[in-house]
Each structure stands twice: as C-alpha cells, then as structure tokens.
Structure 1
C-alpha cells in the first residue's frame, strides 16, 4: 500500500478517497491539493439516492451520518406540461449543497489526519513527490491532458444547451417543467438541496437557445427572461446565476468523456477526470464517491500498486457500463423531446421515467407506452422487452 499519497483536486472523489485510505492505514501521509480558495466551489446542489447512503455507511458510518443529516429528501416526481400537473411516486432521493458536502468531507478528512491545502495549484510538470498521485481534478483535468495520448481521452459534445441555476423556491419533490415558446420547448429540472435553496437546471435545443436570444443576452437579462418563462414553477421566487467575469451566462454543452486507460505509472484518474455521465441521470457525485471506495478497496486488497490500479479500473469500468448506457439514452430522450411532448401529460411523464430503455427509441411512443403497461402484468412480454432493446441499440451503432 502507498505510504505517501497526493490527491490533486479537492472534490468529493479526492476527499472521500483520502478519508477511506486514512481509515485503512492511519500511517499514510495524505495531502489533498485544491487550487481554489476554501468555500469557492461552483455549483448548487447535487442529488443522490438511498443506495449511495447504504454504500457510504459500509465504508465510513461517520461521514455517511453527516451527509444524511445535512440532506433533504423526496419520494415524488412532479411534471408540469401545458398547465397540467402530473405526479409519480418513486424511490427515495436526496439533495445536498455541493459546498456543504465538500465542507463535511474536508472536515472528516482533517479529523483523521489528512492535510487539505487550498490555493495550491499542481502543474503537470511539478507533480508532488508521492507513491501515488490521484487525479481528481475534474473533466478538464490538467494532469490527464498532459498525457492525453497515453490515456486515450475521448470527448463527445451533446447537442442541447443547459445552465445550472439556483433559486430560493424550495421544492418538496423532484420537479420538471416543460414550457413551449415561439422558438420551441425549454425545460427545467428542479430539486431542493437545503431548507432555503434549490437547484434549477434549464435545458433547451440550440435552435430554441438562439431563437430566444439566450446566446446573446447578458446574464442578468437571460435570468429575467427565464424567470418569466418559468414563472408558474417559481411562484415569485428569483432564479440565481453565477455569471462569468465578463457578465455572460454560463451556458454549457455537456461533455461525455471516456478514457482508454485510467492510470499511468503512479498516476490514476478518479471521478470526472476518468469519466462523465449526463447530468440528467443525477449520478456524477455518486460515481465519484464509488470510484473512491473502489480504489481504496483495491489498494487494501492488492499490495502491488500496478495490480491494484488495474483491479480498480476493471471493476469500475464494469460497474459503469449500465449507467453510461442509461445516461446516453437519457440525453437522447431530451434531445428528441418533440417525439414525446405531444403525448397526454401522464403518458409523457411515464416515458420520461422510461427514457433509459434501449427499446424506446425504436417504437412509436404510444405503442411503447401500451406495451410497457402490459409488461407490468405479463412476464413473457417483460422478457421480450429486455431482450429486444439492447439488440436494436447494437444494430443501430453497427
């Protein structure tokens, strides 16, 4: 097991990995290097589901209890379409502020003896002297990009535009709002992450984005326009943005990132530096924490570093396959929203919940809806659905 570890990037993956390694071997010398000042994290709230809490309790009950205590929860999904409100009951979900999550994990890490340094930039040509360097520096990882040829990094841009916003409206369910404009549809996903704030992600096609003038609007003007569009959702509460230094809004195009390999010598990728999945499945933080757990376990079970890193990569690649497929299909569902938005609201919301199905893109939506309802009662039809979907998806990519 490495005796000196440097984690580059102070996000959830690096911090949680440092916690687990210190629990496994308190003699480890571990430093987390974060280039930004303390408390300057981007983002609003993050989501996770009860399965992650179960895993966190197995790894470190103390940090799991702290995360749960500072989270808010919901069991319902609500969709607003054309003035209609549809409710579906689902699994227990949670939201927590990103800043609060990092604060909790950093506090736990320090309590175990980890050194957490802020405003400490680590350049690829000035790597820390350590037995293991963990690159948890995000989707734009400088440590990975310095060896992009070795890692085989592949980035694919999504079609739609999106922006992360906050609001003082506190939602009691995971809420969707689909609004039709003269330039096409625009929609929001909203969820609470504390008793005072919620996250609100707004997404639309590039045609709607330019048609509404959001590509040219100053950040404040864009927020005002979005506030009018989603007035019924916000109940008089404002949208809050974090604009760039030049006053423009932080509209993005999602980057789906993969790597051919995840390690190079004593350098290993973790979290968004290694892989990304579309935000519409709400799994980014969960995957980062699961990466940390898997890497720590591999290092405990395999004293040889090379063997441990290979084991970590094999396990996580296998674990990620179903979710990466679900994320790809989820992104495609939203990119093809006109295919579904004309359905009755309850059917449209049902297919929103089925957007991870590999069969859905290949059947007329109403036919799929009827088959899905029938499959709830007929086991043979359920098996046929599971068998046919992946085969159609593979054939379309061939």
Structure 2
C-alpha cells in the first residue's frame, strides 16, 4: 500500500513507524511543511499508561522516549503566599522537539521517506491512503469541511505557551491576584535545563493588565514580575521567531473522520483543552488505532470506519473531562477563596461534571468522605473476609 502522511508531528510519524513494522513493503512518505528541527511548543506531558501501550507496538521507540523524559510525582499549588504540596501518580514530560527527533530517527531506520519543508494542500492522486496529520488548521480537511462536519468553539480565557530555564521539581500551579483579577500559570520540567510555563487569565484580567497592548518584551517582563516567587529569577522565553502569541483555545470536533481514502488523525480530527495535557497522547493513540484497523481489515473503507468508531468512542470521556477542566479555570473565582488545601483538592477534581452544580465546600466534604470509604474498602480487601467482618463488627460497636 502507498501511504502519504501530511504532517510530521507525533501522529504522522508514529503511524508511519507502525505501518512499516506491520509490513515493510508499505511505501510510506511523511510530508512536513516546516524545516526539520523546527517545532512549536515546549514540553509535552504523558502518563505511564501511554508508555505501556506504546511498548506493545514498538518497544524500541518507547525506550528512546523514556530515556529522554523527566518525571515527577508531586503537585504544588501556590496561592498568594501559601503553598500546598500533594503526592500523586507519576507523570512524565519530554521536549516536543526531542520526541519528534526520536520518532523521525525510528521512522528513517524503517525506510520511511521524510520530506521536510514540503507543503501538501491536496491529496496526492497516486496514494492508496492519505493521512491528514496537519493539525487544527488542516488544509486537507478544510477542502471538505462540509463533509467532515468540522466545528470549532473557542474558550473564554486567554493563554500563552512559554518556556523557562527554571527547572520545576514538581507539576507547579501558581495563582496570583492582581488589581484586575487573577492570573495563573502551570509549569513542569521537560528536560534538565528547561520547563514549560503556560500562563492563563480571564478576558477582564487580560485587558486590565494591558497584555493585549504590551509588546513581547514588556509583556514577558510583566509576567516575570507577577510570577517572580515561582520563577526564582529565571526568565520566561518565547520560541525564536516570536513563538505563539496570546490566544483563546479552539476546541475542534468532526462529525466524521474520513472521506474516501483521506483520514484525519491528531489535531486535524480533534483537540482537547491543554489543561488536561492529553493532546500528544491522543495523537499517538490515533496512530495505534488506525494502524491496527488497517492491519485487521482487508478493505480500506472497513478499516477507516472501524478506526473512526473506536476513536470517537474513546474520546467521549476525554473530551468531557477537557471541557469541564477548561470551565473550572474559567470559573476560578468560585474556588479560589476556599482554604488552599480545599481549593487544590477541587483543582484535582476539575474534570467532574457534578462540580459546577454543587457548592464547592459541600462537594469537598462529600468527596473526602467518599475517599475515606474507598480506603476502608481497600483495607477490607487486603485483610480478607474474616478480618474484614471483625473490622466491621468493631466499627459497629459489637464485640467479638
């Protein structure tokens, strides 16, 4: 099969790897519009579960990805002059440029052709399969927006994606109150030299701080001053050439994900709010699912239909979590005046569809009680039936 992947991000590169591993006779070419080595963004996050899923498809890629990743197991929230630290599940991050280097090297080793600085805006006529992995502004998808049923909605808050030489030792949140409202950042290291730092605020704060009118240098200087306590004197950095400006997040969905021999993957098919850190994971999962479907179904239409069916189903819960996460930050004043440990606890529950409808203090109490019940259940399972009955009897006031 002759396959053309348009877009050299994680989805396009990893799909090319999996296709060649399944069948070395596949003719696979990846076209990337930017020069090799240039990429947007800083670091990307993922969890252990992704490594396990990747290892089932290509252990060699996983070893290289994990080797170049950093990890953390704690979260820190700074609210005014208070700091709360919380232990959680281990998380991982890798520089986006490093991830792409790893995937490109693996693809080349399998004889995938990589064409950089190669702009493709129309499906090649001689390809059996064309993969639109060219991002949210996909030129291939835009040719048939009506067929795909593309819908884009934008969030309320403004954000900017920055880097810093401050190496955070935990996933770090910092909330700062200004005369014009709250502004906050999320920071995490992705190498031993740099971290990602995403800054977000409401439209009112954005305008009140004049971030819509300040130039790059003045805007960065203001942010460095606001977040001086967590940056420890380190600068905030834009990518060479200016990087991404302030923007509002576009959530993209499609009614269908394929048309004839053209199929959408990654951000061309869907986006989820950056606050859940799932974009790269979802792109790689798209690639795994599509490669599996192409292997299991002899007919291309059947394979593409199976891919769409599976991924659309998988994404329902993730998209719901992302929507609620974005809304939590858009309604920050509802939570920010809680005691810091309670605010941080609800920050961790921001994906809940019930949280917006339950008074925050009440939700915290219910959630804490539910957590205690779960701890008791786990203890009973560990003790075994006889000891669990004794524990229950003791807690009820009975005597053995």
Fold equivalence (TM over 0.5): yes
Residues in 2 aligned to 1:353 and 1:213: alpha-carbon distance in whole angstroms: 31
1:312 has 2:307 as partner: yes
- Deviation at residue 123 of structure 1 after TM alignment: 1.5
1:202–1:128 distance in 2 versus 1, CA, 3 Å: farther
Matched residue of 2:34: which SS?
Answer: coil
**Structure 1: gaps (5+ residues):** 383-398
Gaps of 5+ in 2: 378-400
Q: Quick one: distance in 1 between partners of 2:222 and 2:244?
A: 13
Q: Indicate whether 1:161 and 2:158 are aligned.
A: yes
Deviation at 1:306, TM superposition (A): 0.1
| Deviation by residue 1:260-314 (Cα, 9 ceiling, x = unmatched) | 1000100000000000000000000000000000000000000100000000000
CA contact (8 A) 1:243 1:249 kept: no
2: distance between equivalents of 1:108 and 1:47? 21
Instruction: Give the alignment of 1:143-154 within 5 angstroms.
Output: 143-154=140-151
Matched, 1:207 2:192: no
Show CA shifts across 1:96-123 (max 9, x none).
0000000000000000010011011002
Alignment counterpart, residue 140 of structure 1, candidates 137, 140, 162? 137
Out of 176, 189, 193, the position equivalent to 1:192 is: 189
User: In structure 2, what is the equivalent of residue 350 of structure 1?
Assistant: 345
> 1:50-98: per-residue Cα shift (whole Å, max 9, x none)?
1100001101000001000000000001000011110111111011000
For the pair shown, the structure with the greater C-alpha radius of gyration is: 2
Q: Give the C-alpha shift of residue 129 in structure 1.
A: 2.2
For 1:94, the equivalent position in structure 2 comes to 92
Provide the aligned length of Structure 1 versus Structure 2.
375
Q: Secondary structure at the match of 2:199?
A: strand
Counterpart of 2:15?
Answer: 17
RMSD: 1.3
SS of corresponding position for 1:10? coil
Contact preservation (8 Å) 2:161, 2:244: no
Distance (Å, rounded) in 1 between the aligned partners of 2:56 and 2:125: 31
C-alpha distance in structure 1 between counterparts of 2:171 and 2:202, whole Å? 22
| Residue 118 (structure 1) aligned with residue 116 (structure 2) | yes
From 46, 49, 69, the equivalent of 2:44 is 46
Distance in 1 between the 2:246 and 2:318 partners? 25
2:371 matches 1:376: yes
Give the TM-score taking structure 1 as reference length.
0.93
The SS at the match of 1:306 is helix
Q: Secondary structure of the residue that 1:376 maps to in structure 2? A: helix
What CA distance in whole angstroms lies between the structure 1 residues aligned with 2:306 and 2:99?
28
Secondary structure, aligned partner of 2:83:
strand
Find the aligned partners of 1:218 and 1:107 in 2 and give their Cα distance: 38
Secondary structure at the counterpart of residue 354 of structure 1: coil
Q: Are residues 1:254 and 2:254 paired?
A: no
